[in-house]
């Protein structure tokens, strides 16, 4: 860790990450300027936004286990990763916001969602709840950084409770953005809410594993603890997700109208993605790897499980959101409107920009804020 915390190494990390953040933003803006109308309304940027949004909810893992339930680990290991975990959520949320802003046609009038708030709109609530959630996580991070110089346990606890409540509302509502649209019957409100909350935990644990584990690599105790901590979460998460996936398929099967659309995912043109990426890799392989990693305390196996979880999670969200728009019931019974989906170059460019931005912003934060174990604020209230 000396390379990051030491002054010359920190300066290099700061400059490199800042340059990459600027490149990432420039790539996103460039992609936005090349936008064209898609055959379907919500293309790949919407699942990409949802993917990042779910991962950014990973703060609830730490809020829940560490602050609300008071589980610190046998040697206080969990307390050592709270700050970096909260920053990871914030950096991920920034990527999510940029993706959804790039998906809209006029992101510069986003403020109208607050001033002309439509209470019946799930998207309006999504924006409001996400803004509240982000403010809570930012305040939490400031409190945790400042708590290094004094006890703020009650404030932390209150914020953690509030954060979890807002997060459950946020992700249930985000599911309803898709789940309550009558025009697309393969989306189910009640199922999707549970699906998304489990998704937050599973994708969040995978994201934290990938981004936090490298800082524990040379600390055998911390590495072993995190391997078992995230491994157990991923085992539980993937089992619940498997159950919900089976539930979705069975429910769709018993509704002919829904099955006509949902069958495209499980038995139609997109079924290879579903069975190979979502089921074989995202559920079975991840479960086996997470079990192995947890019981053998094998960190590389967990990292592989985390990478596979993120890939399968992205594919799963893309299938749920995109395929349902490619086969839509028509005004005449029994007839369907069909649309072909293909990934456009501007979508790919914007997603590449977000992928560059994600780790760069995360590292940039670490060079400026005292997020690693033992670091304390020295300048401007919260800075190193």
Residues that bind another protein (CB under 8 A): 35-42, 103-107, 109-110, 112-113, 116-118, 120-124, 127, 177, 181-184, 325, 328-332, 334-335, 337, 339
By beta-carbon proximity to another protein, the closer residue of 261 and 304 is 261
Question: 299-318 and 45-56 helices cross at what angle (nearest 10)?
Answer: 140
Distance CA 4, CA 214 (A): 12
By beta-carbon proximity to another protein, the closer residue of 189 and 359 is 189
Q: Shortest gap between Cβ of 106 and another protein (angstroms)?
A: 5
Cβ–Cβ under 8 Å, residues 324 and 61? no
Q: Shortest gap between Cβ of 207 and another protein (angstroms)?
A: 26
Q: Shortest gap between Cβ of 66 and another protein (angstroms)?
A: 34
By beta-carbon proximity to another protein, the closer residue of 42 and 215 is 42
By beta-carbon proximity to another protein, the closer residue of 272 and 332 is 332
Q: Shortest gap between Cβ of 324 and another protein (angstroms)?
A: 10
By beta-carbon proximity to another protein, the closer residue of 116 and 150 is 116
Distance CA 282, CA 202 (A): 11
One DSSP character per residue, 206-240 reads: HHHHHHHHHHHTT-HHHHHHHHHHHHHHHHHHHHH
Q: Shortest gap between Cβ of 182 and another protein (angstroms)?
A: 5
At 278 the three-state DSSP class reads helix
Q: Tokens representing 180? A: 């309550």
Q: Shortest gap between Cβ of 120 and another protein (angstroms)?
A: 4
Question: HSE of 202 in the Cβ direction (CA atoms, 13 Å)?
Answer: 30
The closest of 210, 337, 318 to 274, measured between CA atoms, is: 318
**CA dihedral of 129, 45, 303, 273, whole degrees rounded to 10:** 120
By beta-carbon proximity to another protein, the closer residue of 121 and 296 is 121
Distance CA 68, CA 66 (A): 6
């Amino acid at each position: 860790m000396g390379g990051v915390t030491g002054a010359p190494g920190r300066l290099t990390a700061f400059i490199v990450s800042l340059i990459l953040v600027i490149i990432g933003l420039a790539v996103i803006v460039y992609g936005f300027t090349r936008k064209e109308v898609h055959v379907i309304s919500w293309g790949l940027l919407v699942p990409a936004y949802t993917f990042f949004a779910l991962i950014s909810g990973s703060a609830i893992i730490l809020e829940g286990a560490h602050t609300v339930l008071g589980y610190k680990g046998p040697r206080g290991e969990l307390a050592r990763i709270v700050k970096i975990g909260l920053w990871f959520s914030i950096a991920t949320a920034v990527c999510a916001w940029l993706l959804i802003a790039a998906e809209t046609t006029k992101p510069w009038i986003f403020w109208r969602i607050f001033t002309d708030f439509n209470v019946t709109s799930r998207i309006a609530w999504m924006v409001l709840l996400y803004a509240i959630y982000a403010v809570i996580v930012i305040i939490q991070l400031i409190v945790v950084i400042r708590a290094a110089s004094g006890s703020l346990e009650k404030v932390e606890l209150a914020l953690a409770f509030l954060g979890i409540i807002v997060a459950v509302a946020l992700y249930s509502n985000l599911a309803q953005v898709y789940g309550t649209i009558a025009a697309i019957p393969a989306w189910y409100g009640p199922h999707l809410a549970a699906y998304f909350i489990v998704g937050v935990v599973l994708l969040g644990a995978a994201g934290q594993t990938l981004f936090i584990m490298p800082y524990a690599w040379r600390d055998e105790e911390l590495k072993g603890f995190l391997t078992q901590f995230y491994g157990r979460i991923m085992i539980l998460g993937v089992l619940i997700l498997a159950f919900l996936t089976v539930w979705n398929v069975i429910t769709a099967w018993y509704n002919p109208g829904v099955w006509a659309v949902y069958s495209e995912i499980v038995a139609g043109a997109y079924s290879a993605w579903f069975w190979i990426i979502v089921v074989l890799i995202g559920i079975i392989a991840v479960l086996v790897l997470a079990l192995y990693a947890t019981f053998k305390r094998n960190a590389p196996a967990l990292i592989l499980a985390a990478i596979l979880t993120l890939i399968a999670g992205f594919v799963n969200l893309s299938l749920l959101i995109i395929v349902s728009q490619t086969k839509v019931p028509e005004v005449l019974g029994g007839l369907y409107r069909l649309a072909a989906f293909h990934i456009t170059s501007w979508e790919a460019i914007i997603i590449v920009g977000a992928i560059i931005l994600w780790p760069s912003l995360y590292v940039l934060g670490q060079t400026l804020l005292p997020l690693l174990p033992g670091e304390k604020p020295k300048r401007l209230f919260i800075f190193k």
